[in-house]
Structures are given as structure tokens and as C-alpha cells.
Structure 1
Amino acid sequence: MKTILVPLDHTAATEATLAYANKLAVRWPAEIVLLYCQPADIVTTLEAQTQHLQSLVERLRYQQLTRQDGRRIRYHYRVLAGCLHDHIRAEATRCAADLVVMGLEHIDCGRQEAPGNHAAALTELVTCPVLVVPPGRRSLPQRLVFLADFGTLNPTVLPRLAALESAFPTAPLDLVQFYAPAQRPQRRSLRQGLAKAAAQLAWAAPSALHLLEDDAPLEGISEFCAHIQAQLLVIAPASPAQLLRYFDACYTTTRAYHTQIPVLVLRAAERQPAVQCCDKCAERLARQEAPAGATATASSRAAYHGVNWV
């Protein structure tokens, strides 16, 4: 059974975050772990906070879902004293979370920060993907956009996205790579990286590849998402600073399109080296990996010719 960890606060946007997680849990399917961390200056008992979460769950699952779907979701409650960033790593490990769903404007330790700042900090503390949901009611996405530098993308990122495919089984996926005018001589290698990533991902719904010239990729991806009316943006930032730029105040203030849709943040996983107890094991592993590499090469060649580029 898959598990979605949902950190909540007491803002009005909490309901929208949980409503979105509910829809994901039904579609995937998955169980939900609700996590509330109570700051030290709040005198309400932890038991009272648990009852508050239970009341919220009962109200939302029968208001937002059909009765059958509402009964299908299993909920677990965790109410802890302290700040979320002090507990999120241990709680994600404890419940073996496959995904964290949190609000764009989440408040931690009673501190209100610029939208996305807490999400960016928490993304560095957990190993699973983090889905950042802006305020407002919304349905599950009908079209996804995956933005990355596919030439340098860590190979462990793609399996993490593929693991979420069953939550969006019919949603087409657009893979987008931007390049600066100075990179024009490298377009061939960029197309190859894009095609290789598409072949490895093997998304069930139709996928499109886009290699676009733009020296301002953040503005470019916002315009691209708006043009195709995407409802979910998937990103694989190379650093915390790069992630923070997605939620920069200039974009949230001007309500840039990419800040008005959920953003799925994928981090690279630490790869565990294969254990080889003897030379025969090493030879067997080499034989197992060879066919997969040949298949991926053939698929990459076929996908290479389908790239849309400007």
C-alpha cells in the first residue's frame, strides 16, 4: 500500500491541500498520514489537535468525495510538539512515505514566509518526492509538464516519476528542455538526452518532447504551461537555490502561471552499489544489465526523431 504524508497547519489553505491529497489517494490508491506539528507557544493539547484533524477528515471526505471513495481511504494521525522541519525526516521514514503533499503557503513554527520557502527547505530533508499545492480547489491534472536538464539529469530521478504514473494514468506528459542561444551548437546532444530520458521513462499516456530556445527558462516554462494549459509541473532542481527561484516573490506577486498549479519536486535518490560476492556474481550482473541497455538504446533512437524543437 502506498503512503502519502500530508503536513498540515491551521490556515484556510489546509483544506485545499488535504482535498487534493484525498483525490490522489483514491486514484493511486494510497493511505494518508496527517502530520501536525504544534509550536511551543500554542497551549492546545495534542489530543485536542488530533480530534481537530479527525473532524477535518470526516468533513472533507464526505463533502469532496463520493461515499464509497471516502470510506476507501485509510487515515493515520500524528500530532507532535515542535517544528515540522525537526520531525519531517523521521516521520517520512517511519511511515515509509512515497510522497509528501503540502501547501505552497504552509506555516512552520508559527512563521509565515514567502510562498514556497518552507516547501523548499523540507524537500531537502526527505528522500521522497514533494508535491507543493497552491491555495484553491482543483481537480487532478489532465496534462503534465516535466522540466529538466535531461543531459545532466541524475538517472535515479526518472524511476521516481515513473512510480507516480498510476496516479495520473491518462495524463499526457510533455518533456521540456530549454537551451540558451549560446548552446545552439549543442542541440544535437541535447536532443539525444531528451530522447533517451523519454525512452527510459516509458510514460503510458502519449508523451511529447520539446527542445526550446530561451535564455530565461523560468519565464519560458510558465508561458509554455499556460499555452498548453498544464495542471501539474514536474521539476528536478539541481540545488535548493534553484528550487527557491521557482517560488521567487516576483513570480508569486505577479501570479505567474507556474505558481498557480501544483509543482512536483523530484530529488535524486542515493544509489546503492550492487553487492558482488564473487566474480560469478559480477558476470551475472553484467549479463542482466546488457540487454536492458541495448533496449534503451533502440528506444532512444526511435524517440530521437520525434523531438519538437525550435
Structure 2
Amino acid sequence: MKTILVPIDFTAAAEPTLAYANKLAVRWPAEIVLVYSQAGPELATEEREALKGRLETLAERLRYRELVRQDARRIRYSYEVVSGCLHDQVQALVARYGADLVVMGLEHTDCGKPATNGDNAVRITELVPCPVLVVPPGRRSLPTRMVYATDFGHLPLPTLPRLSALAGALPGTLELVQMYSPQQRGNLTYLKRAVAASKAQLAWPTITTKMVEDDDPIEGISDYCARTQAQLLILTPSSESELIRFFDKCYALTQAYHLQIPVLVLGQPAQQASTVCCERCAKELHNKSVEQLLVEASITKRPTSLT
């Protein structure tokens, strides 16, 4: 049985997050673990039970929202109340329940601090091994148009099966988008082969590919998602700083499209975080990774055509 961990802060913005998680749980199917963390000293037994009661009341109230009764009845919930900050407890919670996915709100409050444009979500993605789905406020359906944006030339191999594992929960068309700068035009053939190799490894029934040139990859992918009306953006950031910038407050102030839709952060597997001694070794490691992908996909001698 798959498991979705859903942190709840009892704010109004938490309700759309749980409603979205409910739809995923029915589609996958999966069990939902609702988690509430309260900053401060250890909770007394009576307080803990009262908070679990609030979680259960919330779950039962939202169980049938936007779902037919037959589907809603199938959702199984567990309730967890912890003392302290979520970011101090989330690793143990994910391990305890074997969570396959964390679903949290863009504005989730952690340790008494309201999120500033996803900064709490960024912290959680750095701590857990499973993907984190960040849901902005608002009512929405499961996506039918998804964009996976990353640097496929540097994508670690174990990332792709982890994404394929989510195909049942996220039906629809998946588009692989490789952003590149004008300075990378001479490397297009290599990048196209890497995108095609990744496509061959994924389990979605409908996958398309796209090469998009832009000086700024974050603004470029946001504009591209807006043009194509993408309903879910999937990211594998190359660095922590890239993810922090993705959620920067300036994009919230300008109402950038990528912060108006759910974002699935698919981190790089920890075992792939190799230490290299120099730039040359890093380049060799990167080339070896992509060539391995190409061999496994059996496409090294096939012509590749991407738009």
C-alpha cells in the first residue's frame, strides 16, 4: 500500500492541499497520513488526543469534497501529532510510515512561522528522500498536462524510476522540457540524445519532448508552462540555490505562473551525490551517466528528432 504524508497546519490554505491529496490517494491508490506539528514543549496526552481529533474531523469533512462517495469511502487515514517543528520530525515520520510522497501547501506554517513563498517546502524537500508535491491555494483537479523540466544531460539515472512510480497517481500527458541557453547551442545534439534517453526510461503512456532556449531557465520554464497551460510542473533541481530561487518572493509578487500550479520536486537520489575532485572529473562523471542512459535505452544508433 502506498503512503502519502500530508502536513496540516489547520489554516484555510490547508484544505485545498488535503483535497488534492485525497484525489491522488483515490487514483493511486494510497493511504494518507495526516501530520500536525506544534512548536514548543512536549504535548500532554490530552492535548495530543484533542489535536488528533481535529485532524480526524478535518479529514472526514473533506473526504467527500470533489469526490464521489464510493471513491471517498476507500481512503484510509492515519493521524500523527508531534511536538516541535515539522522540519525536525519529518525524516523520522517518512521513515516510520514508509511514505512514497509528501504533499504540503505552498503556504504551510512550520514552527510557528508562516511560509514565505514556499520556503518551508524547500526545507522539507532537502530533508526527505521521497518526492514533495507543493500545492498552492485554490481548488483544482488532477493534472492532464504535465511538464518535467530539468537538465537531462546531468540527470542521475535512479531519478527516472522514482518518477515512473508516480505515473499511476498522475495520469495525463508528460512533456520533457530541456532548457538551454544561447551559449549551449553547440551542445544541442548531446542534450537531445539525453532527453530521448530519459523518455525511453519513463512509464507514462504519452510523452512528448521539447527544447526551449532562454537566458534564464526558471523564467523560461514558467513562461513555457503558461503558454502551454501546464497543470503540474515537475522539477529535479541541480542545486539547493536553484530551488530556493524558484520559490523566490519576487515570483509571488509578479504572480509567476509556476507558483500558481502544483510543483512536484523530485530530488536527486542521495547515493548519486558524488564528490569530485575537479571540473574535469565532474565532466567525466556527467558524460558517463548520460552514456549509460543511452546504452540502457538502446538508442545510441537511432536517429533522434525533437522539436
> TM-score normalized by structure 1?
0.88
Letter of the 1:93 partner, please give it.
Answer: A
Q: Distance in 1 between matches of 2:234 and 2:301?
A: 24
Amino acid at match of 1:21: A
The question of 1:255 aligning with 2:260 is answered: no
CA distance in 1, matches of 2:91, 2:37: 13
Deviates more, 1:56-65 or 1:122-131: 56-65
- Pick from 69, 72, 80: which aligns with 1:70? 72
Contact 1:9 1:36 in 2 (8 A): yes
Question: Residue 98 of structure 2: which of 90, 96, 99 is its match?
Answer: 96
8 A Cα contact 1:209 1:306, kept in partner = no
Counterpart residue number, 1:39 = 39
3-state SS, counterpart of residue 250 of structure 2: helix
Structure 1 position 82, deviation (Å): 1.0
Q: 3-state DSSP class of the match of 2:152? A: coil
Matches within 5 A, 1:221-260: 221-260=221-260
Q: Distance between the aligned counterparts of 1:47 and 1:135, measured in 2? A: 28
Q: Which residue of 2 aligns with 1:61?
A: 63
One-letter identity of the residue aligned with 2:268: A
For 1:254 and 1:99, the matched residues in 2 are separated by 29
Report what 2:119 is aligned to: 117
Work out the CA distance in 1 between the residues paired with 2:148 and 2:17.
22
CA distance in 1: counterparts of 2:250 and 2:301, whole angstroms: 40
Matched residue, 2:276: none
Q: 1:135 aligns to what?
A: 137
Report the Cα offset of residue 227 of structure 1. Answer: 1.0
Structure-2 residue corresponding to 1:305: 304
User: 1:146 matched to which residue of 2?
Assistant: 148
Question: What pairs with 1:190-209 in structure 2 (closer than 5 Å)?
Answer: 190-204=191-205, 206-209=206-209
CA distance in structure 2 between the partners assigned to 1:167 and 1:301 by the alignment: 34
**Aligned-pair CA distance for 1:145:** 0.0
Q: What is the CA–CA distance in structure 2 between the aligned matches of 1:155 and 1:147, rounded to whole Å?
A: 15
Aligned residues: 285
In 2, Cα distance between the equivalents of 1:194 and 1:176?
A: 8
* Structure 1 residue 71: Cα displacement: 1.0
Distance 1:165 1:202 in 2: 7
Q: Which residue of the partner structure matches residue 7 of structure 1? A: 7
Contact (CA 8 Å) 2:105, 2:137: kept in 1 or not? Answer: yes
- Structure 2 residue matching 1:230: 3-state secondary structure: coil
In 1, the alpha carbon distance for the partners of 2:188 and 2:66 equals 47
Please give the alpha-carbon distance, in whole angstroms, between the structure 1 residues aligned to 2:301 and 2:9. Answer: 48
Do 1:144 and 1:231's aligned partners in 2 also have CA atoms closer than 8 Å?
A: yes
The residue type paired with residue 111 of structure 1 is: K
Separation (CA, whole Å) in 1 of partners of 2:66 and 2:72: 8
**Matches of 1:102 and 1:221, distance apart in 2:** 22
- 8 A contact 1:156–1:271 mirrored in 2: no
SS at match of 2:195: helix
C-alpha distance in structure 2 between counterparts of 1:217 and 1:139, whole Å = 27
Q: What's the counterpart of residue 164 of structure 2?
A: 162
Displacement of 1:201: 1.5
Give the partner amino acid of 1:174: E
Q: Are 1:24 and 2:24 matched, yes or no?
A: yes
Match of 2:108 in 1: 106
State TM-score, norm by structure 2.
Answer: 0.88
Q: Matches of 1:217 and 1:294 in 2, distance apart?
A: 28
Judge which range, 80-89 or 38-47, deviates more. 38-47
Which stretches in structure 2 are left out of the alignment for 5+ residues? Answer: 273-292
Equivalents in 1 of 2:130, 2:155: separation in Å?
17
249-258 or 34-43, which deviates more:
34-43
Deviations 1:226-271 (A, max 9, x none): 1111100000012221111111111011110000000000112244
Aligned to 1:283: none
Mark the runs of 5 or more structure 1 residues left unpaired by the alignment.
273-291
* Letter in structure 1 aligned against 2:39: P
Structure 2 residue identity aligned to 1:55? T
Q: Deviations over 1:197-224 (max 9, x none)?
A: 11112421x2111111111111111111
